Structure 1
Amino acid sequence: MTKMKQIKNILPKAALAVMLLAGFTTQSDAKGKKMKSEPVFSNFVYEGNDKMYNENPLEANEFYNPILQGCYPDPSICRKGDDYYMVVSSFVMFPGVPIFHSKDLVNWTQIGHVLETKSQLRIAELGISRGVYAPTIRYNPGNDTFYMITTQVAGQLGNMVVKTKDPLQGWSEPIKLNFGGIDPSMFFDDDGKAYVMHNDAPDKGKELYNGHRVIKIWEYDLEKDQVIPGTDVIIADGGVDITKKPIWIEAPHVYKKDGKYYLMCAEGGTGGWHSEVIFISDNPKGPYTPAPSNPILTQRYFPRDRANKIDWAGHADIVLGPDNEKYYGVFLAVRPNEAHRVNTGRETFMLPVDWSGTFPVFENGLVPMEPTLKLPAGVENKTGQDGFIPNGNFTYKEDFSADQLDYRWIGLRGPREDFMEKTKDGIKINPFEVNIKEVKPTSTLFYRQMHQSFSYAVDMAYKPETAKDLAGIVALQNEASNYVFGITVKDGDYYIVLERNEWPGRRDNKKSTVLASQKIDLKAPVRLKVTADGDKYEFSYALNGTDFETVGGTVSGDILSTDVAGGFTGCIIGLHATKANDIQP
């Protein structure tokens, strides 16, 4: 069996045992089988149709940026031999820390998640933009071990590390690390020594302004898997030039090249002033001197209304390419729509890096970025084929018949297996007594919005029994900013409803508005659909599968963007069921 087939066939540690239960034979449809209050979803189709891709068809030697579309931020990458592994932030998505594999930096396969169990991922009662921040993946050739180090913000673990000999075979239980701050990273030197660096607050009483942060480095004991007390040193204070009051120096990585040590960090916050900066030293613990030409990556200097706009670039990691000569960097950025919303969230991009001089510089990272890149020498673009993740405009169909659920389907704050079952008719969701607006695990199976313009449609066999029952689709940015589109019952009649939930400024000032409700004749499965054209969203249904009726007209996607709703995630769209419905038709 080839390595790639092994990757495709690998099962996650948290096996989908619950999904393999006996088929749900009493659900269904116009054939006379009784439908029940546990919805069964089937015939899912997601289709992306972005103008950027339509107007920029690929040449034979090109591939698209971003390489991971949708909410896949804060990428980190490492290499062992010919194999590349990449991880991204997941916040309170469950399982956590998606992990990807490639041989050539262009064609990627998701091989699972690093954090797959409740003991590894303790996020059940956290807001959506808490949880797992900025994971770093590193390979230590000294002990032939991979490490993934991250912060579980506001949870029980804080800064933590897991490790494995083989990323295809699962990861250890988390080891809690004894330091504060966020964004930890690791560095393994040629002499066998190990180090951890991270973002932290200045020493007590030394904070000079709002957003003033420092980068610390510790020596790390590989036997005890712990930082060594008393070895911490501040190696960057404020940023490149503290007299200019730079904010949020974070996401540090240390590299070694030609006998010199390089500290690369994000600076400027994760919004419009985001950038990447670089420092140099003769020693891993400093002192570090900033490069004279910082930043080495940013999109902050260009017109707001430029074509094919890519913005907020930063939070990067660098790796040596397959030819062992050219370097490449992965980083987060956003693709705002025509209303300057970022509903697709922070995505993973890549650029070649010129490191022919003393300091690395992202090629074309200091001019307006383009949607296409040239393939590395000798690489063929196979995205969307042979199990590789697609990019650009693509169609994804899912009949839920495979033994293993696609890794792109995720839960929120808890395992998918706690609420779903595989049946012969599709995926059944057993609803929790939890409303989508609560900060608890929800009975919702989510898929990331990956395009500014898209359609997302699914068949649902369902008959609610009480007014507390509702099932359908949610488009969600967070627990206080979302749309709920589903079916409920009132006085013996079935209704399809659309509700907008928003948070105008304060979390204790949530506002819920029923935009539309109408009685429907629910005798067979209904097809539900949400479509978007930039900032314009529509929710519709069809009783015959083809003739769709819009509910609530065209609505704004504003609350599905981080610049309105706050936080760090993009829009995720879910197959949802609840026994805690509060929408009144």
Structure 2
Amino acid sequence: MMNQVIENISSHHLLLKKVSIAISILLLIMSCTLVSEEKPKFVADHLVAHFDYFSYSGNDDFYIHHALPDSDYYYNPILPGWYSDPSVGSDGKNFFMVNSTFSYFPGVPIFHSTDLMNWKQIGHVLDRHEQLPLEGQRTSEGIFAPAISYNPHNKTWYMITTNIKKGNFFVKTKDPFGAWSNPIWLPDVHGIDPSFFFDDDGKAYIVNNDVPDGGSLYQGHRAIRITQFDADKDVTLGTSLMLVNGGVNIAEKPIWIEGPHMYKIHGKYFLMCAEGGTSVDHREVIFKSDSPWGNFMPKKEPILTQRHLDKDREYPITCAGHADLIQKVNGEWWAVFLACRPLFNRFENLGRESFLMPVRWGKDGFPFITKENELIPRIVQMENIPRDSVVTFGNVNKVDEFDDLHLGMEWMSLRGDISHLYSLVENPGFLTLKCANVSSKELQKPAFIARRLQHHKFECATQMYFTPKSESECAGLLLYKDETHQYLCAVTLKNNTPVIQLIKVKEDGVDILAERKLLNMNDAIDLKIVSDGLGFSFLYKLSSSSQWITMASEIDAYYLSTAQSYGFTGTTVGLYASKKGY
């Protein structure tokens, strides 16, 4: 038996992957019966799937046809894929950027840079259950619009956000590269999108979206409020004051004023907000005052929007807004903001992405990011800042061999930690995933390890060892938008025969879009998804064969888009195992 196992594992290049690992680890690998009926299990009565690798390659046309002109240029979006609601802060030497994660875990990715162009993810702000209670929340609930700020008076970093089912809270740290505190809840701060402002006189404030004085007069009528904050005691002081009622012009019934940030620049207080909702009418607006308590006078025109531009423009960028300003030591002002890249201005599966642009100042004393018919540029120069060899933007080609002791920072799960469902150490070189008694449609924690789609055109693939024992057990690759919009390419049983199925998960059930019988389930199976942006192709092959078999092609990508399914996230893809079907 042992000779058979060693021969099978060697045939899939396992020994080649492990030549640099100590002899003791190699002996452990050879003792693992990964491809026989004695595959290792976490618990004797639970089935597991073993994934040998996961590859992801982006192939978007824009990057192929538009090379960067020099070493001090970058591509927009600076963080491609679903990295929505960017916020950025600085202590004068370091920049840190955070993004929304809604009901994914860990929460709020944090990126570090010393120059604003070159970013590296250093972890997640919310990486423990006590920081991130998400039980029972839908995909687009959970964590909204985190805002990161540095308080120079106590040399502390703050991240404040909304857990949509729990309320507003913040966490803090002296070292953003390390752990953040447990949540400090703010029971007197209501609504969503809170943000700290630390004034140069040592006083601190929270601005946030909330209901207007007297209540809302129409659907989407909201206000921006301010509350003083005691940074020594971590509590709010007094009652909140309404700073902005509705938006720039209440007579026009503006909707969803939100995402506020306050700044003090040249002795003036600026309050910058998003307006118009996060779809195509999204825009960024700004107000100015002599005091943080008002009166705030608006700039009449948005300082960032693409809502009025020709819908037939090439490579359109839409939904721009939710910005945050930051100043470099050389005096330059820049802005991060969210926007979308729909194909042919129709739809996208990438979600709202993080963009970066320089900020200019008008004669009226207001900053602006775009004006009139200006397009958000896809290629931007940051003079005299050299681009690193490894960047966050453009096409990528990444293979995870699952050789590390921990998952990479790009991987996420739904509604909490699922480390009890997978292992990287029990079978070194493999991600071993237990079939959970949870389906991807439920508001629980499925055995789903996912990463963001970052490109319209992409390929992803994995190799899996899996032998289902009942028709309720399945494992494979899952494309996931939300609870009721999914495509699953999975191995399961049908009439006691192993099959591979392509399943469309819907609100009212599932459709089997394609199905093939599998003759040898002791062999590994490779699964692949290829996207041209408008449609997906699903392919498979047994590892003993070199020929890919197409199960289905031109599967409608629109079905997983925000235009079809609503929601605030982008589409994710990853590894899935269930003993509860689909």
Q: Tell me if TM exceeds 0.5.
A: yes
User: Alignment partner for residue 455 of structure 1, among 456, 459, 484?
Assistant: 459
> 1:301 aligned to 2:303?
no
Equivalent residues of 2:314, 2:344 under 8 A apart: no
Q: Which residue of 2 aligns with 1:520?
A: 518
User: Alignment partner for residue 94 of structure 2, among 70, 83, 91?
Assistant: 83
C-alpha distance in 1, partners of 2:345/2:559?
A: 12
Q: Which amino acid is 1:525 matched to?
A: A
Q: Which residue of 1 aligns with 2:11?
A: none
Equivalent residues of 2:213, 2:242 under 8 A apart: no
Can you list the C-alpha shifts for 1:117-166, whole angstroms capped at 9, x where unaligned? 11100002100000000000000000000000000002x3x100100001
Q: Which residue of 1 aligns with 2:344?
A: 338
> 1:430 aligned to 2:437?
no
Identity of aligned residues (%): 39
Equivalent residues of 1:247, 1:267 under 8 A apart: yes
**SS of equivalent to 1:367:** coil
CA shift for structure 1 position 304: 1.5
Q: Which residue of 2 aligns with 1:41?
A: 51
CA shift for structure 1 position 351: 0.5
Q: Which amino acid is 2:257 matched to?
A: I
Q: Which residue of 1 aligns with 2:533?
A: 534
Larger radius of gyration: 2
Q: Which residue of 2 aligns with 1:407?
A: 409
Compared CA separation, residues 290 and 381, structure 1 to 2 (3 A): same
Matches within 5 A, 1:63-142: 63-142=74-153
> 1:244 aligned to 2:244?
no
Equivalent residues of 1:66, 1:371 under 8 A apart: yes
Q: Which residue of 2 aligns with 1:367?
A: 374
Equivalent residues of 2:83, 2:353 under 8 A apart: yes
Equivalent residues of 1:297, 1:362 under 8 A apart: yes
Equivalent residues of 2:316, 2:344 under 8 A apart: no
C-alpha distance in 1, partners of 2:54/2:345?
A: 28
Can you list the C-alpha shifts for 1:361-403, whole angstroms capped at 9, x where unaligned? 11578512221111x2321111xx3xx4432111011101123
Compared CA separation, residues 258 and 360, structure 1 to 2 (3 A): same
CA shift for structure 1 position 242: 0.5
CA shift for structure 1 position 108: 0.5
CA shift for structure 1 position 26: 3.9
Equivalent residues of 1:328, 1:350 under 8 A apart: yes
C-alpha distance in 2, partners of 1:391/1:417?
A: 29
CA shift for structure 1 position 27: 4.4
C-alpha distance in 2, partners of 1:273/1:578?
A: 40
User: Alignment partner for residue 381 of structure 1, among 380, 387, 390?
Assistant: 387
CA shift for structure 1 position 484: 1.1
C-alpha distance in 2, partners of 1:308/1:173?
A: 42
C-alpha distance in 2, partners of 1:339/1:458?
A: 32
Q: Which amino acid is 2:328 matched to?
A: G
Q: Any unmatched runs of 5+ in structure 1?
A: 1-21, 504-509
C-alpha distance in 2, partners of 1:553/1:297?
A: 39
Equivalent residues of 1:334, 1:346 under 8 A apart: yes
C-alpha distance in 1, partners of 2:344/2:542?
A: 33
Q: Which residue of 2 aligns with 1:573?
A: 573
Q: Which amino acid is 1:394 matched to?
A: V
Equivalent residues of 1:414, 1:442 under 8 A apart: no
Matches within 5 A, 1:139-538: 139-154=150-165, 156=166, 158-178=167-187, 179-204=189-214, 206-230=215-239, 232-292=240-300, 294-323=301-330, 325-338=331-344, 340-355=346-361, 357=363, 358-363=365-370, 367-374=374-381, 376-382=382-388, 385=389, 388-422=390-424, 423-503=427-507, 510-521=508-519, 522-538=521-537
**SS of equivalent to 1:328:** strand
Compared CA separation, residues 517 and 285, structure 1 to 2 (3 A): same
Give 4+ residue runs of structure 1 displaced > 3 Å after superposition: 22-27, 32-37, 363-366
CA shift for structure 1 position 531: 1.1
Can you list the C-alpha shifts for 1:68-100, whole angstroms capped at 9, x where unaligned? 011110000000121000000000110000000
CA shift for structure 1 position 257: 0.6
Equivalent residues of 1:281, 1:287 under 8 A apart: yes
Q: Which amino acid is 2:219 matched to?
A: N
Can you list the C-alpha shifts for 1:336-357, whole angstroms capped at 9, x where unaligned? 1237112000000010001364
Can you list the C-alpha shifts for 1:186-205, whole angstroms capped at 9, x where unaligned? 1000111000010011234x
**SS of equivalent to 1:228:** strand
Equivalent residues of 2:316, 2:345 under 8 A apart: no
Compared CA separation, residues 233 and 85, structure 1 to 2 (3 A): same
The range that moved more, 181-190 or 395-404, is 395-404
C-alpha distance in 1, partners of 2:112/2:144?
A: 20
Compared CA separation, residues 125 and 67, structure 1 to 2 (3 A): same
Q: Which amino acid is 2:298 matched to?
A: P
C-alpha distance in 2, partners of 1:214/1:473?
A: 43
**SS of equivalent to 2:217:** coil
Equivalent residues of 1:531, 1:537 under 8 A apart: yes
Matched length: 543
C-alpha distance in 1, partners of 2:576/2:265?
A: 50
Q: Which amino acid is 1:272 matched to?
A: V
> 1:555 aligned to 2:555?
yes
Compared CA separation, residues 176 and 167, structure 1 to 2 (3 A): same
C-alpha distance in 1, partners of 2:513/2:550?
A: 12
C-alpha distance in 2, partners of 1:343/1:106?
A: 25
C-alpha distance in 2, partners of 1:546/1:286?
A: 69
Can you list the C-alpha shifts for 1:93-114, whole angstroms capped at 9, x where unaligned? 1000000000111111100000
